[in-house]
Structure 1
């Protein structure tokens, strides 16, 4: 298992660097101005994060998991691995905020501290439970994923949606847009905990009809149960990975710590399939928005979103297969307007 993770980490680093090179060359040939600057910066951020994940996996495979068991004991190794993963992500999250143009070191640190304070309290005790066996490890992960779906919506400040923005589920407006510089919206939760969260900047930038179309798109995700399908997909992947680790017949605790630290690297082979699934769900939600609020208002909303976020109309295909779960903007707009995509 440890040798397999080491080889996977080295392959991950090579593939991420190669994909980033292709993406940057594509952008230099097909984008310009602010779009070129922003998209190239995003590519470099994702590539740097991928290389960092490879390095973390290499360290884990070369004895990092066993070292955590010796240092923290059999019950403390998995919480320590989760904490390391969480801290590892912080510089890249700060980098992403800087790219959004809403950089403030104090605010970013406070935001990340709030996020960790929300995610780690349930995760660390569950990591202790996971050390009781392979089945317990899967149950603990399932419980954590379920918790993320039923936990209160994230955001520093949440306010009810303005009058006129109605949906079958609660709708909240978050100040995340002001803090990230991005326009965005998302559907969250499963079952009775479903909700839609809109960034404040999105609500401010769009006309009422355009905002209603975005809301209809997010409602489409919930109507088609995409969150439930995604949860089932992740639980299936976890079960397969744990079954492979169990079959290796090595020390369980150190192997689980290794899997926690190397999970993004081990997920590389299925990322194109996962992106393909999500793109299909996005197309379903687009059709739902077009039917409920009109194709043209939704297309105009997407154009504003892409323009504000400085997204390239067409990303490099292989890079998109691994890093862009949404359909390409040009293709998406053409489909909404019934045009042939060039």
Structure 2
């Protein structure tokens, strides 16, 4: 862990240092606001708080830069380490890890993100428009219901003021009303994530993706996406090396960790932590996850989903969930590696469960969100 991240963690996890940080930063930002006038045609994008060039902010960026109606707009991307992102379509980049970042933030009238763009400083921004595409439907608890949340992050949840927050449907709409009580407008028009896959399908084939990943086998592709625990677990959480090795006999196994997790390299298992999740969707035949909300986005493709939850009791006690995958959603759940192997060897699979999940939680077409976003940028 780098020094910068250690300092961030100390500030986040200490009430004393967190409040000092907030006081200093809010005062600093208020002073900047006196001198900086937003550019009405400038949009700032950030994904996963500056860690990635991905997800809905990336889709929004590509969509807008290809639209002639936005040809005179200035697009700015913020990254924690801008030098790491060299994609040819990227234009102006700024560092999110410097005080100068707040100049770019205030200078941009519109902010597009899928997490925090304000560096956990929930300040008032009457001349800026904060547009939030949260990174998934809430499966695990957030905000006040999240056990052990750091004081600074909890303060952010309670006080951040999104001008527009996009939701998939009524379920996450109701949850986000509780989690982010200061949000001004909720846009129940779905997310841009369905369009991410459509964009990739136009530009790259499944065969090309497999070549990029070094896949030569004709075995079905099994994508394993465990979530981040955030605590030192006492029980087993992930599939063991022996189980992964066993799976490689019948499947091409791809491991993709949470963006907070460290990569793992397990023999024949392909580690794809930095590879696009939505490209992986295109070649995946079976998804295995645990408490991640990734399955909500994958369910629309009608391909098998299994949940592996050996630490369900500990996870419920130490993290908490809103939905039980088996009782509430009807998904097949394994609580041991032996159970998972049995499920995978079972011929019957209830695909109707996937259709029901998609209908109830993710029913909007991706173009609905496109239209809503463009209307905000042109008329607000």
Taking structure 1 as the reference length, the TM-score comes to 0.27
The higher-RCO structure (CA 8 Å, 6+ apart) is: 1
Taking structure 2 as the reference length, the TM-score comes to 0.25
Higher helix share: 1
